[in-house]
Structure 1
Amino acid sequence: MKRTIQGALAAGAVVAAGLLLRDVPASLGRRPSGERAERVLRSPQFHDGAFRNSEPGATVPSAPSLKIIRSMVAERETRRPSGPVPLVTAAPSRPERTGLDVVWYGHSTVLAEIEGRRVLLDPIWSERPSPVRFLGPRRLHPTPVPLSALPPIDAVVISHDHYDHLDMPTVRVLSRTHSASFLVPLGIGAHLERWGVPPSRIVELDWEEEAQVAGLRFTATAARHFSGRTLRRNDTLWGSWAIAGDRHRVFYGGDSGYFDGFAGIGAAHGPFDLTLMPIGAYSDNWPDVHMTPEQAVAAHLDVGGGLLLPVHWATFNLAPHSWAEPADRLWREAKARDVEIVVPRPGEPLNVSAPPPVDGWWQTLA
């Protein structure tokens, strides 16, 4: 009897492991081939077998050093909120045909409603940004609304293929339940095709290429970052995005570090009513590929931004800094440089023409 029980437990463990790991090969994505690979090879950003930044810089090490591991472990409690993050769970209202509204769902996931069209940026509804369901940083707050509660989406925009920005389970659901086009930097279309997105709905762009989708103009713009879903890096391009309607313009900084190219983006595609700028996951160990809050304010001014909404913070623990530090530093720098910002709770709908005052809600959780 004992051996029977042990055998059953062992078999159950094998089945459980198989279920947990079954999606890992697909989640890794696929390298570009055919026409997608030919476009990669023709890109001015691709040389010596990989995509390159216009300004070289240090990236996050693929094998973290003991120093980095120690910094991530030290003062662990300060790197998570002290209580539940306040969420707004109401569904957004129908977008106005002439307005600009936005909902930040956490991390870099934003629903922008531009003149009646809905654009979803870097959506991730998974519990962890990882190819493995039981490993990787876990959410620090739930998603404000279930994925099924989203209104009809016209376009999905991806900045690059890191797991916290390109989430396979979320993409698969959106592909089945919405008719949206997916706008991505070069090479990422191969991932989407492997996950079941029809090729006719995939729009791959190099920097400074543009496409008209649902009455909006999407331009892939430069960024200073890197890519990769395995130890192999930079087979796919990364970028920021300029999105323009007839009356309103939005700039999304992606996961970029600060670089001189922001001024050129502003000159070519700005000014912008709203900028979505990353403010978290910075570290002295990788100073060139993630902006500090102060650099986010500088980038906002470079591109000619009106209102700044911070993203890439509060949801996943990805760097040694404390949980509330990015928003505190952003607020202080914005005051010093007379920049208008809005720091919404996850899920809170905002009208860009009438943003609420900053109330420091995160400070009670520091």
Structure 2
Amino acid sequence: MNVRKIFGVAAGALGVTWVVRAVWDIPSAIGASISAIQPYAAGAATYRNQRFHNTEPSTQLVAGAGPSLLYSALTKRNVGRPRVAVPVQTPSVPAEAADLAVTWYGHASALIEVDGYRILTDPVWSERVSPSPLVGPARLHPVPTPLSELPPVDAVIISHDHYDHLDKETIRELVVGQSAPFLVPLGIGAHLRHWGVPDHRIIELDWGGSISLAALGRERDGTDLVLTCTEARHFSGRGLVRNTTLWASWSIVGPTRRVYFGGDTGYTKAFAEAGAALGPFDLTLLPIGAYDENWPDVHMNPEEAVRSHADLCVGDPGHGLLVPIHWATFNLAFHGWSEPVRRMVEAARAAGTTVAVPMPGQRIDPNGLPPRDTWWEDVG
């Protein structure tokens, strides 16, 4: 018996199995085709030649970035990983939603409480942010709680269709486990339909478009909540073709409280415009991670997040509370794991901005902020 040959055949079979598993679901995970998206995108002010565009000059990568990116990929690939395990809290969910609070689940996934309503943002519960379950950026900390243990939510909002913000498996589970509508920028509804989300649960909006929960039949205790799709400076794409769907931030306005969810965006004049039209905001959730000198237009750095908070608070950096998102959960750039939050805290201190940095799973109530904690210093 040729033992070496038998092992070789077995290893080959295992290798083929792994490859098949890695690529099997990719077409479905990528989402809808351009032809399925186009009817819902056509007619938007920023949609030209079958692509969406930023209103400000923007590039995904600066000219000549290739050599710098190659060097970073070879020398800094693991610099964004924490030294020790990231601490995670089991979320404490009250029976009734508060006037204002937020529970951060990691990256851009958060449960926002506004005037008694609950809004879920960019829910991603999968292990990897990739079309394949076996290849791509993996979590740096576990999900704080199973998706099935979330309380009933009143709406799910999506900022754009990148894998770290729009996850097929999470969406499918929410369709079954929740009854809330999905509020998305133009074009993203095609992805949701492709994954089995019913039409009546999909609301697609252009920048400036608004919808009230009362209009959706979800009014609670005589109050209402208005959600507005606001301009962001970013890009989209789940395959080889970019910008076939719109990207956005979101304003959430109730009778007494106002919240702004940044999603993923570069610094933009649209923050000041949103502050003037819809603010000042009592709580801002703004991205502080995955920045790089090679893509400055489409991702904010920590100092720009603090500046954006002031814009959203109508020029008053001391108004409201800034909670950072889009850091700590996935290694998506070439900066240190804790660098974003360290830089943000320093910039906020200089500007006089109040910040709260929850660990994954921690609930933050601006009316009763916990004592200052620098938990990230022990991690990164």
Mark yes or no: TM-score above 0.5.
Answer: yes
- Structure 2 match to 1:330: 344
**Counterpart position of 1:184:** 184
Q: Percent identity?
A: 48
Q: Which consecutive unaligned segments of at least 5 residues does structure 2 have?
A: 220-224, 314-318
Query: Per-residue deviation at 1:356?
Result: 2.1
Where 2:368 maps in the other structure, the secondary structure is coil
**1:140 and 2:140 equivalent?**
yes
**C-alpha contact 1:144 1:347 (8 A) present in aligned 2:** yes
- 2:79–2:334 contact (8 Å) kept in structure 1: no
- Which residue is 2:326 aligned to? 312
Is contact 2:266-2:298 (8 Å) kept?
yes
CA distance in structure 2 between the partners assigned to 1:136 and 1:328 by the alignment? 27
Instruction: Note closer, same or farther for the CA distance 1:8–1:328 as it changes in structure 2 (3 Å cut).
Output: closer
What is the one-letter code of the residue matched to 2:350? Answer: A
Moved more, 5-14 or 109-118: 5-14
Whether the 8 Å contact between 1:31 and 1:187 is mirrored in structure 2 is no
Whether the 8 Å CA contact 1:110–1:120 is kept in 2: the answer is yes
Query: Which 10-residue stretch deviates more, 147-156 or 182-191?
Result: 147-156
Deviations along 1:106-139, whole A, 9 cap, x unmatched? 1111011222221110011111110012221111
AA aligned opposite 1:355 = L
CA contact (8 A) 1:91 1:149 kept: no
How is 1:153-164 mapped onto 2 (pairs within 5 angstroms)? 153-164=153-164
Q: 1-side partners of 2:334 and 2:6: how far apart?
A: 48
Aligned to 1:172: 172
How many residue pairs match? The answer is 364
Q: Does 1:232 align with 2:241?
A: yes
Partners in 1 of 2:150 and 2:212 — Cα distance?
Answer: 23
Question: Which of 65-74 and 140-149 deviates more?
Answer: 65-74
The residue correspondences of 1:1-366 to structure 2 (distance < 5 A) are: 10-31=12-33, 33=35, 37-60=38-61, 65-96=66-97, 99-213=99-213, 214-215=218-219, 216-304=225-313, 306-366=320-380
Q: Secondary structure at the match of 1:159?
A: coil
In structure 2, how many angstroms separate the alpha carbons of the residues matched to 1:358 and 1:165? 29
Secondary structure of the 1:298 match is helix
Equivalent-residue separation in structure 2 for 1:341 and 1:311 (angstroms)? 12
Is 2:183–2:204's contact at 8 Å kept on the other side of the alignment? yes
* Structure 1: gaps spanning 5 or more residues: none
- Please tell me whether the aligned partners of residues 272 and 303 of structure 1 are also in contact (alpha carbons under 8 angstroms): yes
Q: Tell me the SS of whatever aligns to 1:251.
A: strand
Find the aligned partners of 1:297 and 1:5 in 2 and give their Cα distance: 58
TM-score by length of 2: 0.90
Distance 1:357 1:65 in 2: 44
Secondary structure of the 2:112 match is strand
Pairwise CA distance, 1:340: 0.5
Q: Partner of 2:222 in structure 1?
A: none
Rounded to whole Å, the distance in 2 between the matches of 1:32 and 1:201 is 21
Residue 195 of structure 1 deviates from its aligned partner by 0.6
Q: Which amino acid letter does the alignment assign opposite residue 263 of structure 1?
A: A
Q: CA deviation at 1:65?
A: 2.5
Distance in 1 (alpha carbons) for counterparts of 2:31 and 2:40 = 18
Q: How far apart in 2 are the matches of 1:29 and 1:77?
A: 30
Q: Given residue 236 of structure 2, which amino acid in structure 1 is its aligned partner? A: S
Displacement after TM superposition at 1:14 (Å): 3.6
* Residue aligning to 2:316: none
- One-letter identity of the residue aligned with 1:345: M
Query: Could you say what secondary structure the match of 1:200 adopts?
Result: helix
Letter in 1 for 2:364: L
Alpha-carbon shift at residue 104 of structure 1 (Å): 0.4
Deviation at 1:33, TM superposition (A): 4.8
